[in-house]
Structures are given as C-alpha cells and as structure tokens.
Structure 1
Amino acid sequence: MPKLRLTTQRESVFNNEVISKFELFNSLFLTLPFYKIKDTGTLLPLFFKSCEDGIKQGQKPAQVIEEFFAKYTSYTDRKDIVDLLFRFIQYIERQVVLFDAVEDASFTKLNTTDEQSTLAFILKKNADNKTMLSKIERLIDDLSLRLVLTAHPTQFYPGNVLAIITDLTQAIKENDITSINSLLQQLGKTPFFNKKSPTPVDEALNLTWFLENVFYFAAANIQEEIDQNLDEYNLETKKILELGFWPGGDRDGNPNVHSDTTVEVSKMLRQILFRCYYRDFRVIKRRITFRGVEENIAKLNDVLYANAFDQGIEIEDISVQLKEGLNKIKDTLLEEHEGLFVDLVNDLIRKIELYGNYFASLDIRQDSRVLRKVHEFCRQNKPISSLYPADYDKLSEADKLKHISFKEASINFASAPDELTKDTIETIKEIKGIQKRNGERACHRFIISNCQQASDILQLMELFLWNGWSKDTLTIDFVPLFETVNDLKGAADIMETLYSNPFYKAHLASRGNKQDIMLGYSDSTKDGGYLMANWSIFNGKTSLSAVAEKHNIQLAFFDGRGGPPARGGGKTHRFYASMGKEIANKNIQLTVQGQTISSQYGSVESAEFNIEQLINAGITSGLKEKHNILLDPENKVLLDAMAEDGYKAFVDLREHPLFVSYLEKLSPLKLLSQANISSRPVKRNGGGEMKLEDLRAISFVTAWSMLKQNVPGFYGMGTAMKNQEKAGNWGKVVKVYEDSDYLKTIVDNCMMSMSKSDFAITAHLASDKEFGSFWTQLHNEFELTKEMLLKLSGQPTLMANYPVDKRSIATRERIILPLVLIQHFALEKLQHDQNATDQKALEKLSVRTVFGIVNAGRNLA
C-alpha cells in the first residue's frame, strides 16, 4: 500500500509540475517574436494535429505533409515548403529543450532515494551491531565507482545551449516568468548544431562542461556525505568515486585521434580543473582574512593562478603541495580562530583528493588488430628482430606465448613506420609525460578492444618495454575489452592464461592484484541480439569472476554501456543491485555517453541522485551477497535455451538480404555523417560499401530509433518466450522472472525500448513491394514480444509499473512525432531523382530532424 501511495503522489507531481507547466510555457514559446513567427506559431499546432490524424489513418508521411500544405497554406514551391518544415524543426527542437528544463526543475520532487538503501540508514540500523559495522567498513573500503565520460556522438547540445538549459531550469524552479521569457528568446536565436564536424579536442572541450559545472560539485558533495556518515560512527573514510574520460584517448576506429590530441586533452583537463580550484580558492581568500595565514594564502593563490591561466609554465603534479598548504591554513584556523571557515578549506582539500592534478583519468583505447601490426613492425627492427622467428604471426597462440620474452629495449628503426604505427608508438611514449605532469592516475589504463587472445595483452606490454618504459616503472593497467558473443565465451580462458603468466602475474602484483575487464554491450547486442547479449555478459562475468577468485585477483568489471537498453542502458542502478555473490560487483565502472550524460548527469541534483543510486546499489548488493538463482542448473538451462532462441531469431533477421538496404533507404543512416556531431566516422571502412560488420553500434542503434522500431532492444525476446510456452515451460519462465531481479531488469529495460517504438508510423510499409514482408516480420516480432512481456510481468501495458516514466516518454514521443514524419518525408523524396538543390535541401532536412528525436528520447542512441 505505501508503494501505491508513493506512485500516485509522483504521478500527481508530474502532472502538476511538469505537464501543466510545459503546456503553459509552450503556449508562451509559440508567441515569441522570431523570424516569420506568425506563420510558424499558428501553423505548428495544426501540423501536430495533421500528423497524429494521418498516422491513425495509415497515411504515408509524404501524404500527411502534402495534404497539410494543401489544406492550411498556399505554399506550392518546394523551397517554401522546405523552409517552413525547417522552422517547424527549429521550434520542436526547442520544445524538447523546454520539456527537459521543466522536467529537470521538478527533479527533486519526482525522485527520492529509497531511504532504506542509503548509507546513513544502513549505518543507523546497524549502529549497535559491531560485526555488521565492521562488515560495512570492509565493504566501503573495497567499494569504488568509476564513471567514464565518452565521446560517442549523441550529445547534441553545445556548451552555450547547456548553459541556457541550466539557467532556464533554475528560472522554472523559481517561477521567474520574466527570466523564462528572456531565456526562451535566447534559446530561439541560439544555433543548436555545428557548421563543421568537431575535432576530438572540440569534443573533449564540449564534454568538460559537465566536469566543470556538474561533476566537480556533485562528486565532492557525495564524498562529503560519505565522510560525515562514516565519521559519525568512527569508521575510516575512503575515496569512492573516480571520473574517467575517453575523448582524446579513444582512438579505436577514429583516425582523427593522435598522440598530440591525447597530450592536448590531458593539459586541457588539468587547466580546467585548476580554474575550478582557483574559483573555490578565491572564496577562501575572501573569507579567511585573519592573522597567521597570510603567507600560505598568498603562496597558494600564486600557484593556483599560474596553473589555471599561465600557458607558459612548466607543469607538474603539485597535488601534494596544494594539500600541504591548505592543511597549514586549516591548522591555523583550528588553533587560533575557532575553526571559522574551516569547512571551505576542507571542501577544497576533499576536491583535490578526488581530482588530483588531472580531473578525470584519460583512458587510451586501441583495436587489437592495430596493436598486432605495431608489434609486427617493431619486431622487424634491431635488437628485437633476433628474438622472434620470421613466421611468428602464423604460430599458434601457445607457441606465440613461448616467444614473448618481455625484454626491455631501445629500438633502432630501420624504416619509417606508417602513420598509425607511428602514432601508437608516440602515444605509448607520451603517457609517461602525462603521468609526470598530471600524476599517475591521469592516464594509467590502456584498453585493448576486440581482444581475442592473451597475446594481445602481452604483446602490448612488450611494446611499452620497447618504447621507453621499464619493468619496474610500468605504471599501466592493461584492460581487455570483450564484446562479441564468441569473445565473451572465450574471455575466461584468456584471463586464466594471463593470470598464469609469470610476468603478467608479477605486474598485477605491482598494481595491487587488481584487474579491470571491460565488457561491451553495444557490439554484443549488434552481434547477438538483446537477450543473448545480456545473457552472454552475465555468463561471462560469472566465469571471469570465478577465474579471478581462483587467482586471488580483485576484479572490476568496466561496463561499456550506451544510452538505450539495446546498448546496455536503462535502469542501471537496478542492474548492479541485482548481481549475485558469484559476480564481482565491489568495483562499479561504466561508461556514460551521449544523451545519458545530460539526462542523468546534466545538473548537480540529478548527478548526485544517480551517483548515490549506484553507490547504494553497490552497498546493498554487497551486504546481501545473495546467490543468483539464474545460476541454478535448471534455471541456467532455461535461460541458455531462451538466449539461443533469441540469438537464432536475431541472426536470421540480420542475415536477411534486405536488412542493410532497409536501414540505408528508410533511415538517415547514410546521412548521419552530415550531422557534424562527431569526429568519428559512422562506419569503420571509410568510404566503402555499407556492410553490417563495419557499421558502428551507435549508428546501427540510432538508425533503428529513427524508424521508431528499436529492433536491437527487443527482437528475439518474443520468440524466445513463445518457444518456452510451446514446450510447456511457461510456468518455469514465470517463476524465474518472479525470483530474479536480474531478469526483471532485462524485461523492464526491454519494455522501455519498446515504449519508444511506434510501428504505426511506418505501417504503410506493410504493402510496400520491396520491404512489405520484411516490415511485417519486424512488426510481428514486436507484437509477439509485447504480448509475452505483458503476460510474463502481469502488467496491463508496457511500463505500467513506472507510470511517471511512461507518461514522460509518451509526452516526448508526441512532441517529436512531426520530426519523425518530416524525416521520413525527406527520405521518401530522396528515393526519387532530385535536382542538386532539392537533393541537398532534403538531405539537410532529414539530418536536422535527428537532433530533436535523439534529444527527446534521452537514451535512444
């Protein structure tokens, strides 16, 4: 009953604080004095209605739009029609921003942490139980959370728009109509898109907005709360949260990231951090004007100012020096001034302990195939050439391992390497400089994507030893990334080989016997479908945990999560809370990317809430340490069969001869590179033919979301469940679902993905000569999955257990319905011959709709 009352209260708050306010401010928005506002503001509501009615009647997008123009306008010229559609797009983009701001302004009223899962409640509950307090202390000592911001191209808002959204959210909180009106006008005149593609450094700079304006404060606030809670019970505190950063370091498939990019981004992160430090120190300087601190205040002011603004100084890691200076000021305040303003000093010390000299740790990532070629090139040069046989690359894995000797060497290059090889070698050398300037934690992980064998890791270690590093100073953590279904199956054997290798074992010992392993959700879903991807990762984590425990290795899984459920997104904290004791879960690491950054970490309040949820998930799952019932033989056999059926269904679809052409012709897949939102190509093989294996997972998922079909987020689930029902196992499936929080999370996230689908928009394709049967196949699986999920969960509609989230999604989908139809209208016209001018205008029209659709979905791509 209490849960029912809470849900009802949240719905009421959502209706009053979000829906009502959005409708009010939206009506104001439509009357703002912009270019040709009268036409746009008057016609847009009619266009919305035409779109909704047209879809209900099963009309094609082109038919809906052409009938609208014939009925409500006098426009007949293609240029005038396209011009008005562009103005509609601009308005709807800003309506999405307005809805975001209204919803974010109500965040604290809509979201409350379950009190029973908070650290404060857990400590209070066990205050008289010394055994439990000791367990909590050990758990916190082991616990860590690492959020890694990535450069994946679905963060569409530039920094100036993010700043407007922040101010607009605050104005809405305060019901400041004058400011709201001004900010809406500013929003209307501010461009939402780039005229040219950003460089990797541009991407990094755009993303640092969140570091500087959100995480800098939110992480420190969370750490302060943890410190206070533990101090109250005389427990030793610990730094739990760490930030990671990929822009400038992630060169997997991105030809535009180079060693100088990595160095420039590392310096930029440091300088922005010191500007944050200096901003805080100015407050300290303004308040602490007492005797006895003048000299230390002056010294710190000069040091912080120089590091924040002087481009010419020689930079080095001065975090220890800063803390020493601040602690001297703190001691003086406590001894001579009754501790006045000591909280300001403590706050800055806490931030320096969190962020050091680097702000966020810069990860390096490269594909194993590239690294193998670099190793091959280095082996051709003295003195390395004498250590390897000429046919080394053709040897078996076992024979390769016999030849890897880990000799330190200084290579004499007989010939110039190609650009990619040269960049890899230079990057390995530059990491040492980054560590010297910013501290070891500034850049200490090298991620090997497409890792398929132990030698991929060991050969990379050799590359370090051949290019400026020694065995005693190899301050690098080597992180294998397992992505495909087959890679996940072999992952435990690879790690067994590594843990048994004497050199690698010694290296791990020097790193505290800690091993990070990255698991990729995006490519595993693209490879095997939604259910198989999740189940493969679950099984992979189980086997990898067992191997690590056998070798006494402290394992941390680094989850490569995208925004949508199809790429590992969704209710993330529930996912971590549902882990059993068989899976290493004390160190939570995950990527945060695209719209997930702005939607979940776009404000200090939302960032604090989501960070706290993840930390609480780690604590509560650690205290429970329940056996995961999915590992019981009967249940595992059941899920194995379901995953295999889902996999077969998805692979059959993926191998359909129309699969790629369906996406090419009916979605803006081929045009995504024109969006100018990323330095990274849409696919890996450059300008060649569109092949599924070369297509990036993010582009793959985005294309399906533009079609409002979200196939990677559900396809095969319905077939898998229906097959079990036919086999007489439905009762077992229901029992496992009821008993397993992990399976509930998979189902809930699948429902979320399906809630953002609308096959009615493309229903006209059912009679299409080329794609009719293919569309029908997709639609049938969608309806089957929906039927089986509702039957399994006992819910009357998708996401019925989350009525506020359901209403938010429905509202957002309604806002952007015209964008979807405009996009499909443009794509439909592009299938016919157009003159050069119309071709360019229609392509631009299609691309521009992507921004608003993805922004509204918040985790669509």
Structure 2
Amino acid sequence: MSTQDITQFDSEDADLRADIRRMGDMLGETLRGLWGEELYELVEYVRSSTRTLRESPNPELREELIKKLDETELWHVIRTVRAFTSYFHLANVAEQHHRIEFKGVAGARREWLEEAFDRIRDANIPSEEISDVVNRLEVRPVYTAHPTEAARRSILNKLRRVGELLNERSNPRLLESETRRIDRRLSEVVEEILQTDELRHTRPSPAAEARNIMYYMEDMFRFAIAEVEEALDDQLETFGISREPTIRSMRFGTWVGGDRDGNPNVTHDLTRKILDLQHERALKMFAPAIARLAQTLSQSTRIVEISKELADSLEKDRADLPSVWDEFWNLDEDEPYRLKCAFIYERLLNGISAAEGSALNKPRYANVQPLLADLQLMLDSLEANESGASANGEIRRLMQRISAFGMTLATMDIRQHADVTGAAVNELIDRVDSIDGGFGSLSMDDRSARLVEELNSKRVLSSRAITFSPATTEILNLVETVRQAQDEYGQPVIESWIVAMTRDIDDLLAVLVLAKEAGLVVPEEGIARISVVPLFEEIEDLRRSHEVMDRFLSIPEIKSLVTSAGGVVEVMLGYSDSNKDGGITTSQWELYKAQRELRTIGQKHGVAMRLFHGRGGTVGRGGGPTRDAVMAQPYATVDGRIKITEQGEVISDKYGLPELARNHLELSVAAVIEASLLHAEPHHSDEKLEEWFAAMDWISDKAYAKYRSLIETDGFVDYFMDSTPVEELAGMNIGSRPSRRASADGSRSIDDLRAIPWVFGWMQSRQIVPGYFGVGHALREAREAGMEDVLAEMFNEWAFFNTFISNVEMTLVKTSMEIAGRYVDTLVDPSLHHIFEGIKEERNRSINEVLRITAQDNLLDKQPVLKRTLAVREYYVDPLNYLQVSLLARRRSAEDDDPSVERALLLSINGVAAGLKNTG
C-alpha cells in the first residue's frame, strides 16, 4: 500500500508516521506476494482515485471509478476490501503503541495522577478531605455485551502481537540484526492477518462474550491495576495519607450474562454459568500470582521472626491441609511465608477443582474475604518484623489486585425491561388477589401503594406448586439464582438490578417485590442484598427523573432499605436512547440537568447518589474523551463514585494493550479524584450559571425541534434504511443480542431499532446524523438572537459546553457529504433525496457555527495531531465506502442472495468500522 499520504506531515509525530509507513509497505509487499500485481494495482487505483475525488471533485473520474468497481470480479473486490481493512487494523495498533510511548501523539500517556494532585495541592485542599474522597473512591468501568466490536478475537490477538513487536522495535539499543528479525516477524503477522477470516460465521454466544471480557481483565490483573494503585499511593504519600491494601480505587462491572433486556439468549441458567466461569477464571488468575509471591517472600526465621497470629494460622492450616504440610514443611519450615503461600495455593486449587466439579469437600475459600485475611496476616507479620519494604511491595500489590476483582472478576448487573418485571408482578398479585380488571389496570399511585403493602407483608406470592407463565417463571428463577450466587460467592457478585425504561416508582417497587420472594429484600429485618437501579433513557423520563427519585426515597420502607445497603443510591442515565429520541443537544443538556437535580434529591434525603453513565463509543452515544467527560459533569455530582459503560471497539481501543489499560485507568481515577475535590462547589456565580442555563434551554429547544422535524419527515424511515447498511448489520454476527426489537407487524420502524445500530448505520454511510443534527440550526438561531458573546463565554469558561462543542467538532470531521451522497444517489429513491439535502444543509450550518465558536478557520486547527491522524484515515476509509456502495447496490438489485456479495459487503462494514474507529 502506498504511504505517500503520510509523508507530507512535519516531524512532530515522525515516529508514529514511520511505523505506519513501515506497516503499509509490509502490507503492500505481502499483497503483491499473495495475490499478484493486478490486485495491488487495483488497490492503488481505488486509493488514488478516491483521494483525488476528496481533494477536487471530478464527475468523470467518479463515474469511471464507479464503473470499474461495478465491473470488477467479486473475488478482487473482496481482496481489495480486506487490504484496506488490514491497513486500518495495523494503523490502529501503531497509534495505540504511540499513545503509550510518545506525548506528540493524540491521547498519549501522561502522569495523570501527578498532574491531578499538583492541581489539588495548588488549591490547598486539606489532607483530611483528600483522605475522605479516597476512602470512598470507586471508579467502576462496566463492560457490556452490546454488539459493536466488529473485529474477531483471532484478529485482535494478532494485532496484539504487532503491538508487542512495535514495542520491541522502539528499543534504541537494538542491534541491526535484531531490528531485521523483528521486521521479519512483523511481516509474518501481516501475512497471517491477510489470511485470517475477519468475519464470524455464527453469532457469538453470551459465554463467548464473557470470555472476551475476561481476556482484558486478565491483562489488567497482571499489570494495570497494581501500577495505578501504586501511582495513587505514591501521590497520597506526599500528603501523609496511607491506605489499607484492601481499599481499592477501582472495581469492575459486567453486563455479560446479566443484561437480558431484549436478549432471549440470556436466561437464569446462563447467568449462573457465566458467574461460575468468571469465578473459575479468577481462581486461575490468583493461583499463579500466589506462586510468584512465594518466590518473593523467602524471609527465614533463622534471620527474622514472624507474628504469633501468622504462626497460629500455620498450625490451623496444618490441621486443615495435612498433605501440604507433609509436602512442604521440610522445604519451607524456616520460610513461613512460603509455607503460608503453599496453603493459600492449595485452597485456590481446591476451589478450581470444585468449580470443575470435583474436590467439593476440600478446604477452599468461600469468598474473597478469607483469602484477603490470609494475605493480611502475612503483611502484618512482615511489617512487625523488620520487613516494611516487603510488606509494601508485592504482597500489598497482590491484595489490591484481588480486592479490585473479587471472586468473580467483575460485579454483574442484572438488567431487565420494566415491562417484563411489571408483568411478572401483575401475574403474581392477580393469583392471590381479586382486582377488577387485574392489578395491571390500577393507576400508578394505586399500584405503588399496593406494592409497598406487599413489601411489608410476610406472605409469599409465588409457590412451587403453581404454574406461572414462562416469562414469570424465568423472573422467579432469576431472583433465586441471584440469592444462591450471593450465598456462594459473596454479596458483591451481584449488587444491582437495573430497570430499563423506568417510567415511575411502580417500576422500581415491582423489582423489590420480586426480590423479596427470594429473600434478597426483607424490609422488617433491614435486609437489602440487592439495589434497584432506575435507568432513565428517553427525554421525558430524564426530565422527570428527580421527581421519580424524590417520591421513591420518600417511602419510609425504601429509605430504610437504602440505609441498610450503605446509604448509596444508584441511578443510571441513558445516553444512547436519549440521543435517538431527542438529538444530541437535547440529550446532553437533559442528562446534565438531570444530574444536577438528582444531586439535590440525594442531599434532601441524606443519601449518596452514584450516577451510572451509559456512555458508548461514539459521540452520538455519549462517547468522547473520558477525562473531559468526567470534568464536564455538574459540580458535586462526582463524589468519589462513578460507573461508566465500556463496550465494543472502545474496549479494545482502551484496554487492547496492557500499557493502554494502565493509561486509561489512571486517567479515569485521576479525573474522578480531581472532579470530586476541585468541583465540589460551583466555579461560577449563581447569576452567571442562570444565564448559561437559560441559553442552553433556549438552544436545546431549537435543536430538539429541528431534530424531530427530521425524524418525523414522511419517508424518513425508508431513507435511513436505504441510505445505510443497517439492514445488513444483522449478518455481521458481532453480538449475541438481536440488532432490533421485534415489531408486532414486521414493519420498518425507527422505534424498533436499537440505539446502537441506529448510530452504526449513520457512521457507515458517513452521514453521522446523531453526532450533530440540530446543533448548527440552534447555534445560528442563538447567534442571530444576539447571544454570540454568551456562546463564546460559555465555550471558554464552562467545561460542559466546551466538551459538547469539541465532541461535535470531532464528529463533523468524520462526516463526508461527498461519500454520503454516493449512498443516497445509488441506493435511495429520488423522491426522498430532499431529506439528504436537509442533512447536508444542517451539517454545513453546524461546521460554520462550530468554527465561529472555536475561533478557527478549519475544524481541528487547534488539535493538529488529531487532525492529521483523521486526515490520513479518510484517504483510506473513502475507498471502502465506494466499495460498500457498489456492493449494496449489487446485493439489493439481485433476485437471489449471492454469498460472495454478502461476504464482501460484511467485510466492507468491518473495514469502515476499523477506519473510523467507531461502530456504534
């Protein structure tokens, strides 16, 4: 592949450009060797033609290119698509490598914690306040099973190897022969990537998705967690603050196996299977770590003493595990820490055997606490006996890692739609009570009052002797499964039940009544083993969220349960559905306002509010730079605790290499600490905030009206379906969950389409409507109404507005109306082309208004490295888009399905996703 597109840039990011050039040259040579000069020349023709078209539109060249693509044999098209896709995979991993190593690259690693604590120090924050925040600190990434990772694990593994080789190659002390050896190995991997099928031929199972998440967690256990915790301890030490090793700044969450909203593949049996799978994997991660610890702790009682508590524990271990004593006492009699590690190791092995179905009665750890207690015994003994450095070394780091992951690696959230749990409660209550029209016919107030009565009642609604509907039976089995899992692995294994599409308090009370059936909730005894978490998703639900939570927390029984659970109330905010419902401006603004109002409700009721941000990878789903997002939250809403969803290609981009994971986690922890300490009070006067909020209300109203006018246009559904490959998305097999909800009559409907494929389709066709539509119209109206100075002030002084505009700007750079026009001209009925004209006009308006606010001549002028990176990518994404349009036309015009066309089309979808680094 040619690299002339890259060489034009200056030397600021020369090392990155050199690596991308090298990978491109290797790819080109491999293409020639595998598939011949003819294929290579086709690739170069497509690349050079699309670049020329981007720089200066030429109708004759465009028609020539389209004609050539339409006439090219499919096997050539497939290989051409794979060539461009492979280029992006290699370019992506090169960028990841340089994000780790060099500050000249956008997003490169920095000393995030050190920088944050320097600002905290400059603000003269008392150490007591810092200690309070750190003691309740919990940054929890939650990995979801949403179908947005387009690359297969086999490809990701090979790309991981490329990253490792690039890391080796960056060593300045390498000999020439060593560099040549690394290049040969890089060429091997490039060839393997080209010869590996990128497509999944079957939809992955939830168990496979769980293994994918565990892959990243294993990496983080080995490296990232200990590094971040040690960096945090290092900064805290400068304030005279120390932490117990079991106080961790991070925990991990997962929806894989717990999210059943619209996914019929997730059952209670599967939930338990995945928890067991995670438990087994946790033990298999802990055991070798204990073995390594034993190699480290070789202190001998011939030189130093040990504590009485450790000695007593060894005697107990000897009684419990005599075979270990018989095997190791002679070797480790004078090395008690190694002997203790041998006993710990054996208990972990027994746990693994039990997980595999044998050795059920042998001593093992019931949950993570006794394991941590054994390690604490050793740490205390080391500290008390002249081994302070060792106590603060490997054993402390291991305790922090185990504390972060627990016995199942990640805390699983249960998520189910409010309608499903509501229907189950209706059926249970209708069995025991006679209500005219049934329980479901009651008003919300009457339902809620009745559900509170049921919470206080000691009667049981369900019975094994009664046959319920399959859906209700599944719900009852699920609450029982949650209780059994908590009994076995500890309560943190599942803490939250998220109620999708929460409308009012009866949706939340229904879940508590169901939990009561399994003994998870017993108000009169103060038992609250699971928390119900509302998920407010659509615009009207966000606007009412504070009212719902106020009424919910005003119920005495609820307040008692919250107090029993530690006084923390979790609320989840849905970014994607609110955007799909109201457009990006109104979505972002209503989310911001909801957080402010929920903060006030928490203060009113004396509870801590933990906000769970359902952000996705793209700006249209709440994505964007993590630190900017955290710092842009309303004051006092980030109070040491935050949960954020991570999904799809975002996971591999943030956690694909161990150093990347460390960088991202440190950034997240630093941002939450800084936001908690430096943004606990407003940075501006009430008068100034009122002025800005009034401006945003006005802008949001204008943007909302503009957005709704688009999606309510006659023919819009057909336009979206036809101008994007969203209908073909189902064939990609990139997630276990269906891409759309089933409609009653099988008709096309935007409402039935999930928010992820909604964004995915717009991204693929380069229209990216969810990332900007309505913004330009609203900003122009505001400017023409005399608000230009206010807009400039908001951009320069208000983190929320600055982040919002910056994210829209990045999205606008990735759009291409020239490319989008190819989709529309080729695939959409001419009677609907006026919709595209409206999208183009709004995109141009948005660019003009963003440039005015940011005081730039061109988008991203103030972020030159990012601008160059995206510009180079566009030269290679454009060819894939042209190929995709040609393939969509072939597929949709054919009378019968052609597997070769289908394959080529899905490969093009995969390639565009890799090129834009976003799917949905």
Same fold (TM over 0.5): yes
Structure 1 residues 475-503: Cα deviation after superposition (integer angstroms, max 9, x where no partner): 10111000100001111111011110011
Letter in 2 for 1:682: S
User: Which one of 330, 344, 362 corresponds to residue 412 of structure 2?
Assistant: 362
CA distance in 1, matches of 2:439, 2:113: 58
Letter in 1 for 2:887: A
Q: Please state whether the residue corresponding to 1:365 is helix, strand or coil.
A: strand
Residue in 1 aligned with 2:480? 429
Residue in 2 aligned with 1:179? 185
CA distance in 1, matches of 2:482, 2:346: 28
Matched, 1:634 2:691: yes
Residue in 2 aligned with 1:5? none
Q: Please state whether the residue corresponding to 1:381 is helix, strand or coil.
A: helix
Q: Which sections of structure 2, spanning at least 5 residues, go unmatched?
A: 1-8, 170-181, 301-333
Residue in 2 aligned with 1:453? 504
Preserved contact between residue 47 and residue 818 of structure 1 (Cα < 8 Å) = yes
Residue in 2 aligned with 1:319? 368
Structure 1 residues 514-567: Cα deviation after superposition (integer angstroms, max 9, x where no partner): 001000000000000010000011111111111111111100110000101110
CA distance in 2, matches of 1:439, 1:60: 68
Q: Would the alpha carbon gap of residues 117 and 581 (structure 1) be closer, same or farther in structure 2, given more than 3 Å must change?
A: farther
Structure 1 residues 805-861: Cα deviation after superposition (integer angstroms, max 9, x where no partner): 2222222222222211111111123342x24254x4333322221112112222341
Matched, 1:262 2:262: no
The correspondence of residues 488-567 of structure 1 with structure 2, limited to 5 A, is 488-567=542-621
Q: Please state whether the residue corresponding to 1:559 is helix, strand or coil.
A: strand
Residue 66 of structure 1 deviates from its aligned partner by 4.7
The correspondence of residues 442-481 of structure 1 with structure 2, limited to 5 A, is 442-471=493-522, 472=525, 473-481=527-535
Residue 696 of structure 1 deviates from its aligned partner by 0.3
Q: Please state whether the residue corresponding to 2:918 is helix, strand or coil.
A: coil
Q: Please state whether the residue corresponding to 2:612 is helix, strand or coil.
A: strand
User: Which one of 431, 434, 440 corresponds to residue 491 of structure 2?
Assistant: 440
Structure 1 residues 291-312: Cα deviation after superposition (integer angstroms, max 9, x where no partner): 2325322212212223346501
Q: Which is further off, 198-207 or 679-688? A: 679-688
Residue in 1 aligned with 2:28? 30
Residue in 1 aligned with 2:178? none
Residue in 2 aligned with 1:735? 793
Preserved contact between residue 489 and residue 536 of structure 1 (Cα < 8 Å) = yes
The correspondence of residues 700-739 of structure 1 with structure 2, limited to 5 A, is 700-739=758-797
Structure 1 residues 347-387: Cα deviation after superposition (integer angstroms, max 9, x where no partner): 222212222212111010000011110111111334xx37x
Q: Which is further off, 434-443 or 172-181? A: 172-181
CA distance in 1, matches of 2:449, 2:370: 46
Q: Which is further off, 175-184 or 699-708? A: 175-184
Residue 757 of structure 1 deviates from its aligned partner by 0.6
Q: Would the alpha carbon gap of residues 271 and 115 (structure 1) be closer, same or farther in structure 2, given more than 3 Å must change?
A: closer
Q: Give the TM-score normalised by the residue count of structure 1.
A: 0.92
Q: Would the alpha carbon gap of residues 121 and 729 (structure 1) be closer, same or farther in structure 2, given more than 3 Å must change?
A: closer
Q: Which is further off, 542-551 or 470-479? A: 470-479
User: Which one of 410, 422, 427 corresponds to residue 377 of structure 1?
Assistant: 427
Q: Would the alpha carbon gap of residues 298 and 611 (structure 1) be closer, same or farther in structure 2, given more than 3 Å must change?
A: closer
Residue in 1 aligned with 2:731? 674
Matched, 1:350 2:403: no
Count of residues in Structure 1 that have an aligned counterpart in Structure 2: 835
CA distance in 1, matches of 2:365, 2:477: 20
Q: Would the alpha carbon gap of residues 93 and 607 (structure 1) be closer, same or farther in structure 2, given more than 3 Å must change?
A: same
Preserved contact between residue 89 and residue 849 of structure 1 (Cα < 8 Å) = yes
CA distance in 2, matches of 1:43, 1:347: 54
Preserved contact between residue 112 and residue 667 of structure 2 (Cα < 8 Å) = no
CA distance in 1, matches of 2:59, 2:536: 44
User: Which one of 67, 85, 109 corresponds to residue 93 of structure 1?
Assistant: 85
CA distance in 1, matches of 2:222, 2:419: 37
Residue in 2 aligned with 1:104? 96
CA distance in 2, matches of 1:582, 1:642: 25
Preserved contact between residue 520 and residue 530 of structure 2 (Cα < 8 Å) = no
User: Which one of 335, 339, 342 corresponds to residue 295 of structure 1?
Assistant: 339
Structure 1 residues 728-751: Cα deviation after superposition (integer angstroms, max 9, x where no partner): 222222222222111000000001
Q: Would the alpha carbon gap of residues 59 and 337 (structure 1) be closer, same or farther in structure 2, given more than 3 Å must change?
A: farther
Residue in 2 aligned with 1:210? 216
Matched, 1:648 2:709: no
Preserved contact between residue 296 and residue 328 of structure 1 (Cα < 8 Å) = no
User: Which one of 99, 115, 119 corresponds to residue 118 of structure 1?
Assistant: 115
Q: Please state whether the residue corresponding to 1:591 is helix, strand or coil.
A: strand
The correspondence of residues 214-229 of structure 1 with structure 2, limited to 5 A, is 214=220, 217-229=223-235
Letter in 2 for 1:349: M
CA distance in 2, matches of 1:245, 1:824: 37
Residue 390 of structure 1 deviates from its aligned partner by 5.1
Residue 660 of structure 1 deviates from its aligned partner by 1.3
Q: Would the alpha carbon gap of residues 615 and 586 (structure 1) be closer, same or farther in structure 2, given more than 3 Å must change?
A: same
Q: Please state whether the residue corresponding to 2:102 is helix, strand or coil.
A: helix
CA distance in 2, matches of 1:413, 1:116: 55
CA distance in 2, matches of 1:616, 1:469: 35
Q: Would the alpha carbon gap of residues 139 and 427 (structure 1) be closer, same or farther in structure 2, given more than 3 Å must change?
A: same
Matched, 1:403 2:450: yes
Matched, 1:761 2:819: yes
CA distance in 2, matches of 1:270, 1:418: 32
Letter in 2 for 1:771: L
Preserved contact between residue 668 and residue 847 of structure 1 (Cα < 8 Å) = no
Residue in 2 aligned with 1:746? 804
Preserved contact between residue 159 and residue 209 of structure 1 (Cα < 8 Å) = no
Residue 645 of structure 1 deviates from its aligned partner by 0.5
Preserved contact between residue 596 and residue 637 of structure 2 (Cα < 8 Å) = yes
Structure 1 residues 609-644: Cα deviation after superposition (integer angstroms, max 9, x where no partner): 222222222222233334265973322221111101
Residue 336 of structure 1 deviates from its aligned partner by 6.7
CA distance in 2, matches of 1:498, 1:470: 16
Letter in 2 for 1:20: A
Letter in 2 for 1:665: D
Q: Please state whether the residue corresponding to 1:306 is helix, strand or coil.
A: helix
Residue 331 of structure 1 deviates from its aligned partner by 5.1
Residue in 2 aligned with 1:836? 896
Letter in 1 for 2:838: Q
Residue in 1 aligned with 2:330? none
Letter in 1 for 2:717: V
Preserved contact between residue 58 and residue 763 of structure 1 (Cα < 8 Å) = no
Preserved contact between residue 358 and residue 439 of structure 1 (Cα < 8 Å) = no
Residue 202 of structure 1 deviates from its aligned partner by 1.3
Taking only aligned residues, the RMSD between alpha carbons, in angstroms, comes to: 2.6
Residue 95 of structure 1 deviates from its aligned partner by 1.0
Q: Please state whether the residue corresponding to 2:203 is helix, strand or coil.
A: coil
Q: Please state whether the residue corresponding to 1:518 is helix, strand or coil.
A: strand
Q: Which is further off, 725-734 or 714-723? A: 725-734
Letter in 2 for 1:829: R
Residue 152 of structure 1 deviates from its aligned partner by 1.1
Q: Please state whether the residue corresponding to 1:241 is helix, strand or coil.
A: coil
Matched, 1:846 2:905: yes
CA distance in 1, matches of 2:113, 2:737: 44
Structure 1 residues 584-603: Cα deviation after superposition (integer angstroms, max 9, x where no partner): 54322110111111112222
Q: Please state whether the residue corresponding to 1:480 is helix, strand or coil.
A: strand
Q: Which sections of structure 1, spanning at least 5 residues, go unmatched?
A: 1-10, 71-75
Q: Would the alpha carbon gap of residues 37 and 516 (structure 1) be closer, same or farther in structure 2, given more than 3 Å must change?
A: farther
Letter in 1 for 2:397: D
User: Which one of 137, 140, 145 corresponds to residue 151 of structure 1?
Assistant: 145
Preserved contact between residue 585 and residue 703 of structure 2 (Cα < 8 Å) = yes
Preserved contact between residue 194 and residue 677 of structure 1 (Cα < 8 Å) = yes
Residue 286 of structure 1 deviates from its aligned partner by 3.6
Q: Would the alpha carbon gap of residues 614 and 712 (structure 1) be closer, same or farther in structure 2, given more than 3 Å must change?
A: same
Q: Which is further off, 495-504 or 190-199? A: 190-199
Preserved contact between residue 120 and residue 677 of structure 2 (Cα < 8 Å) = no
